[in-house]
Amino acid sequence: MTRPRIAVTTSVRTGWRVFPFINLSLWLTGGRGVRWGVGRVVDLADVDGLIIGGGDDIGPDLYGGTLGLSARLDPDRDALECDLAKAALDRNIPVLGICRGAQMLNVALGGSLDQEAWTTYGPDRKITTILPKRQICVEPDTHLSLIGGEKPMKVNALHSQAVDWLGDGMRVSARDTGGMVQAIERVRDPFALGVQWHPEYLFYAHRQRALFRALVSAATAYRDSRDQTLAMRADAV
The structural domains of the chain, ordered by start, are: 5-236 (3.40.50.880)
Q: Is the pTM value of this prediction over 0.85?
A: yes
- Give the DSSP per-residue string, 177-215: TTS-EEEEEESSSSPEEEESS-GGGGTTSHHHHHHHHHH
Tell me the pLDDT of the chain (237 aa) as tens digits.
Answer: 699 999 999 988 877 889 999 999 999 999 999 998 777 666 899 999 999 999 888 888 888 876 655 556 788 899 999 999 999 999 999 999 999 999 999 999 999 999 888 888 888 788 889 999 999 999 999 999 999 999 999 999 998 899 999 999 999 999 999 999 999 999 988 899 999 999 999 999 999 999 999 999 999 999 999 989 888 888 887
Residues taking part in catalysis? 99, 198, 200
Indicate the residue type of 69: L
- Chain centroid to Cα 102, Å, comes to 4
Query: What three-state secondary structure class fits 37?
Result: strand
